[in-house]
Every structure is written in structure tokens, then in C-alpha cells.
Amino acid sequence: MPTPPATAPQPPAPPIPLTELLAREDLGLRRIAGPADADLLWVHTSEMADPYPYLLGGELLLSAGVLLTDPDRYVARLVEAGAAALGFGVRPVYEAVPEALVEACDRYGLPLLEVPPETPFTTIARAVWRLMAEARHRELRRVTRAQQALATAAARPDPVPAVLHQLAAQLGGRAVLLTARGEEVHAAGRRPPPEAAAALTRLARVVARERPGSPASATDTHGDTHLAAYALGGGEGLVLSLATHRREPGDHTVAGIAVVLLSLLAAPHQGADAADRSAALVRLLLGATPAEVAPLLGPDGPWTVIHARRSDGTAPDALTAGALGASLGSALVDAGREDDDETVRVLLPATAREAPPHPGWTLGVSAPTPLPALAAADTRAARALAHAEATRTPLKADAPVTGLAALIPHDQAAAHARTLLAPLTPPLADTLRCWLSLHGSWDRTAVALSVHRNTVRQRIGRCAELLDVDLNDMDVRTELWFALRRE
């Protein structure tokens, strides 16, 4: 069957199913030939013998047949122009729809509507435009609701999979985030048939920006499955791929909103000092010391180390960890996927705002620290995270030394701490520190250290023996806490 001209402009509103127009009983329209399914994009009235040059495609053409002489050629030209349906008005020219016209419409597959004498063409046009306005309103409401749902999903602790799940729900299909090589990063929704899934992967490679000139999006159809692929911004080579069993007005707009959100979530953080940070990393790899690269990383202020774990115990992926870093204001993120480590570490520069609690995450935050002391800050952030998990608080910040403890010079305090704690092995010292920070709670210390509470009791008892002190004495606890904070 001939298709509409490729240069036809887009309609001003979503297409109207022919069945909706026929359902209007006040119009009295009756389909007498051709298929029942058709989408109406326009309404046009013409009494020309050949209206082909004036049709855009998708029209409901209304005519009384004033110059109708050759029904077969007339219908063939309408189909060639892409007309969606023909509405034929009876009287005053014809008392009934010509039988030759009915046969031609059946032969060419063009829906033919009988328009009764009491229904003016202008009334039909007005009804179509009203249906289009209602469809446009429904589409805008749907897109608005989808935009709100996707934005809410993007604010979740796991924004990338949450956006994909919401997108799959909005479109009623499958949403997949793929790499340029076709590797699945995240997916949501019901899986399409294997053949359609393979076709979707091939379509993703078409838009993957691995070579110049790749299109930003592409669509295809595999059986009754509609496929679409969109390249994400940010230069990461990621592609959003969609497989749905229907394609409705507004789907492309909803997908476009998801593309923007996913591009922002998956894109690397770019700050004004990104080049300096990259240079600092290169110099460290080439053998420079932290003190030597400190000017590139921000000499005007300290750094903060953050340890984070998902509150539900699940392991974060690289995109989710990157989204956490971006929300904190830093691109310096370690997703912590080595050795099944589920801890994400973030390094915050002095210019970043103070880390707030993040829903879905438990955070341990070190005190601001000069660059050469980041290793110690990393340890303190880990302790703070263990404390937060043991006390079931969303965030625990390691407080800097202040008050009376700050009056003693650091080197003298450190020397005293080393002497006092010399009998303790590192595991015992860590257990004592954690136990004291949790006010002597056996259960919370066990949770923080991921050991049995009896193990905690044994270690604390061993600490008391090696140090030859009474740990029930508040003065002893205070001095040990002071030493453990300064070692």
C-alpha cells in the first residue's frame, strides 16, 4: 500500500482513532467500506476531481462527489497521497453512496464513511478538532505525571535503576541501560522475546557513540514489539533501549525525559578544577608524594573522607555510587567493588558543602583533614560508619579534637598514647575504641565489628588484663579514650 509523503509535517495533536469519531452518535456516521482501524491527523474538505496535490497524509477527506467521475482512480489517488479515510456526504449530488466507490474503497483498503444529509461537514471537522484537543490534554497530563514520577525516582538512593523501573512502568515495556558493546548495566520490566531482545541490542549499537556521525536515537519494529534506542549524553557510550508492545502519543517525550535524567546521573562530575585533579592523580601514579600534589587538589582547605553503605545491605553498583558522589559534590568516588566490599568511599574537597544524611545510605564522615593525613581520615571514616550502623543512625561524623584535649600538643599526646596502648594488638585496640565509643554496649559493638558479642567480651577482658586496669572506672575509660583518639 502506498505510504504518505516522507516530507509531511507533524500534526498539531495526537492522532484520533477512527473508532472514536464513529462512536459520536450525534454525527450519525456509518462505515460502509474499508478497514475499521485508522488514525486521523487532519480534516480536509474538497470537491476536486483529484485532491492529491493538496493532501498531507492522514486526512479524513470530506466530499459530496461533485466531480466524481472515476471512483477507482479517485480512491487510488487518495491512498497514494496517504489519506486516512473518506467521508462521503449524500445529497444533494447523490441519493446514496455510489456502489463503485464502495467497491474501490474495499479494494484499496480505504475506510469509507457515509455522512447523512443532516450532518454538515463543518460539524464533523469541529468534532475531530475537539477530539484532538481532548487527546492533547490527556497526553500532556500523562507526560506531566510521568515527568514527576521519573524525577521522584531520580531522587531515590538508587536513582538509575529506579528511573528505569519507573520508565518501564510508564511505557508498559522493557527499559534497558546498555554499554556500547551491548552489555546490560541495568534493566527493568518484562523481558521481550529473545529475538526482539537481540534486535534491541543491535539497535543500541547503531546509536552508541563510538564513531562520528552516530544518530542520537533510532527506532525499529520486530514482530509486534516496538524498539527504540537513545544515546545518553556525557560521552560514556551508554544507551537507553526500550521494547514495548504499543507506541502511544507522548512515549517519545517520556523517553526523552528519562534520557536527560539518566545522562545527568551517569555522566562524570565536571568541576572547574577537574583538570587539576586529573593532573594530581597522574603525578601520584608517577611517584609524587601527597604533599607535592596538594596545591593541585586544593591548598586552601582540608579534605573530608566519607564511607557509605546501602541501608538495605545491597551492594551498590558504579552508577549508584557515582550518583551518591555527585549529590555530595565530588567526582572522587571509589565504588568499593573489590573483594566484595560494599562500602563506597567519597573524598570531598574543601569547597564542597557539609555532607547531609542521604535516604537509603548510612554514612561515616571523617573530620576535615590535611591531604598528608588522608589515610588516618580514611580509618576514622570507617570507624564512624561502623558506629552509625551499630547505633542505627543515618550519619556519624568523626569530631575533631577540641576542648581540653586540644590543649596538649599533638606529638606529646601521641607519644603518651603509644606508651599506654603498647600492650594491645591492633584488633584489641580497635575493639576497645569501638566499645568505648558505644558506651560499653556489647551488642552494638558486636554489630559495628561484625563479630559475636561473646567475642567482644573476650577482647575487652583481654584488654583489661594486658593494660592491668579496671574498665568499669570512668577515669580509666576517659584516659584510654583520650589515648585512642590521639594514637
pLDDT(293) > 80: no
Residue of 150 and 399 predicted with greater confidence? 150
> Which of 7-16, 70-79, 305-314 tops mean pLDDT?
70-79
Instruction: Return the pLDDT at 445.
Output: 85
pLDDT(272) > 80: no
Q: Under CATH, which architecture does the 155-266 domain have?
A: 2-Layer Sandwich (3.30)
- Which amino acid belongs to residue 83? A
CA distance readout (Å), 110 to 1, 14, 35, 125, 389 = 10, 21, 7, 19, 69
pLDDT(339) > 90: no
| Confidence label for 291 from pLDDT (cuts 50, 70 and 90) | low
What is the pLDDT averaged over residues 154-176? Answer: 88
The strand order across the sheet containing 395-397 reads 333-334, 344-348, 304-310, 361-365, 395-397
Instruction: Return the pLDDT at 279.
Output: 65
In sequence order, what DSSP letters do the residues of 31-78 get, joined into one string?
EEES-S--EE-EEEE---S--GGG--SSEEEEE--TT---HHHHHHHH
The 10s digit of each residue's pLDDT in 169-204 is: 999 899 988 877 777 888 888 888 888 888 888 888
Residue of 418 and 190 predicted with greater confidence? 190
What is the pLDDT averaged over residues 461-466? Answer: 87
Domain ranges of the chain: 16-131, 155-266, 289-399, 405-486
- Residue 55 CA to residue 53 CA, distance in Å, equals 6
Instruction: Return the pLDDT at 2.
Output: 37
Sequence-distant (6+) residues with CB within 8 A of 463 are 424, 428, 431, 432, 471
pLDDT(54) > 60: yes
The 10s digit of each residue's pLDDT in 79-98 is: 999 999 999 999 888 989 99
Instruction: Return the pLDDT at 236.
Output: 59
CATH number, span 405-486:
1.10.10.2840
Residue of 202 and 416 predicted with greater confidence? 202
Residue of 409 and 327 predicted with greater confidence? 327
Q: What is the pTM of this model?
A: 0.55
Instruction: Return the pLDDT at 140.
Output: 85
CATH number, span 16-131:
3.40.1390.20
| Confidence label for 19 from pLDDT (cuts 50, 70 and 90) | very high
The 10s digit of each residue's pLDDT in 341-374 is: 688 888 887 655 566 777 788 888 888 887 777 7
- Block residue for cell numbers 557539609: 354
The strand order across the sheet containing 173-178 reads 184-188, 173-178, 239-244, 225-231, 217-222
pLDDT(121) > 90: yes
- Asked if domains 16-131 and 155-266 share a fold, the reply is no
